[in-house]
Amino acid sequence: MSKPKEPKPVKLIAGIFSPQRDLIGKALESLSERYGSPDFISEFLPFDYTDYYGPEMGSPLVRRFASFEELVNPEFLPDVKIFSNGIEDRLSSQGKRRVNIDPGYLSEFHLILATGKGYAHRPYLRDGIYADLTLIYRDKAFHPLEWTYPDYGSKVIMDILMKIREKYVLQMKNRLKAKG
């Protein structure tokens, strides 16, 4: 019989895209005010894996990834998604989003993104939010799954996520040392 125990803390991340770089900055500022200082912010990357968002947001789209220094409990993810949806609403114009925020977390085993859309591989969490198992980590690398969005399965993004994971692993080692 397994005995329930507290989960290990995880690394909060966000992928933010928009046709306007300044809006990415505003979204990141709002996230930082709520979740603390980022310990990683990627360069601007083209978001050209799909044209799905073009009619609503315009184009060309650019994206940045960020991770936050403070580790969080994984059950906190729905709160982060609801907060990020609020940022998207505040930055919208004439009923159209101008920025998209994909919050999630990294653990030693996987990347989980939060979404409001259910599907077979997305278990329900709470408050209309689902967990999307996006990447798994094994054999010293992230691996996409059959449903992983093509951008998250790209080498560029998996390399960024590996850098963030390295920070996370170091943080966890330091926590263990501090505990003694």
Give 22-41 pLDDT, tens digit per residue: 999 999 999 999 999 999 99
Give the fold, CATH level 3, of 11-179.
Answer: Alpha-Beta Plaits (3.30.70)
Region 136-158: mean pLDDT is 95
CB 112 within 8 A of CB 105: yes
pTM of the shown model? 0.93
The CA distance from 91 to 130, in Å, is 23
Q: Residue 180: is its pLDDT beyond 80?
A: no
Region 102-131: mean pLDDT is 95
Determine the number of helices (DSSP H) and then strands (DSSP E) in the chain.
4, 9
The CA distance from 81 to 165, in Å, is 21
Give 40-77 pLDDT, tens digit per residue: 999 999 999 888 898 999 999 999 999 999 999 999 99
pLDDT, position 50: 87
